[in-house]
Structure 1
């Protein structure tokens, strides 16, 4: 590390704590859960606009990333991204898995040491970044798909939950 990098490193102050980041993520997860709940059962698995995936398919992607991604971060062992989850066309099954993932995130989170947030990792065998950038991607991806869910709900005549209530 050169002198300039060392100086810059010592000047960096913490903007958000790991606990605050977890609360931020879980706030988004709670809101996304309410979007899932707002969908009429049949439309959750069938409705799409412009060739986009159904919200059930998007939900499976979010489930395939959050828990498994954090498991990879904690264990250091990568695995393949598996977006298909058996659900039997039951929204309740995906909500059950959503809740289990929320609990898993809460259980795994304390195992990430603050110094490791800037460590370079590879998730799902191909996506390289830092622990922090990976977690921010998990959150950003969820927000992106939740936005699609909002459009679907509005097109179905369903009032989505207030986006600011996290």
Structure 2
């Protein structure tokens, strides 16, 4: 009789996706909280506008996962045509969410430790790159929270996220 050792897993791929999507849902709420004019123009101390910060997040999520699934080394492209419309931003955000969920299912558990170079310049594993995408979103969202508070707007509670663990 053969004994098969099982390695305990802290989190599944599906739980990690749910965690990331919880962050993306919260970031969507932060985008929605901005007055349209301020979303495209507000800045403190020469930092990037909310629209510029969100452009970076849009440039990373779907395209980064696409590289993990399909290969290739497309450059980081943060140029989006928002046309001064938050509705357009949210449309692109929702489209990126769908792309993330679709591509995620194509990454097998075995591949999370594969080495990759995202956007032709950032070397790491698939899992470390995904963690960076999440960390970067949290970092940008924190800046957006500061902007909202400076505008006298209470940001959405950061703890109100659905991570699928309830």
Shorter chain as denominator, the TM-score bin is over 0.9
Count residues with an aligned counterpart.
157
Give, in whole Å, the separation in 2 of the partners of 1:48 and 1:146: 14
Q: Give the match for residue 82 of structure 2.
A: 87
Unaligned runs of 5+ in 1: 1-9
TM-score normalised by L of structure 2: 0.92
Structure 2 residue 125 is the aligned partner of structure 1 residue 134: no
Give how far 1:78 is off: 1.4
Q: CA RMSD in A?
A: 1.1
1:73-112 correspondence runs (5 A): 73-112=68-107
Give, in whole Å, the separation in 2 of the partners of 1:104 and 1:66: 9
Give, in whole Å, the separation in 1 of the partners of 2:135 and 2:8: 23
Give how far 1:12 is off: 5.7
Match of 1:114 among 103, 109, 113: 109
Q: Give the match for residue 160 of structure 2.
A: 165
Give how far 1:20 is off: 0.2
Give how far 1:13 is off: 3.1
Match of 1:68 among 63, 67, 83: 63
TM-score normalised by L of structure 1: 0.92
Unaligned runs of 5+ in 2: 162-166
Structure 2 residue 45 is the aligned partner of structure 1 residue 55: no
**Greater fraction of residues in helix:** 1
Q: Give the match for residue 36 of structure 2.
A: 41
Give, in whole Å, the separation in 1 of the partners of 2:44 and 2:8: 44
Match of 1:20 among 15, 21, 25: 15
Give, in whole Å, the separation in 1 of the partners of 2:34 and 2:48: 14
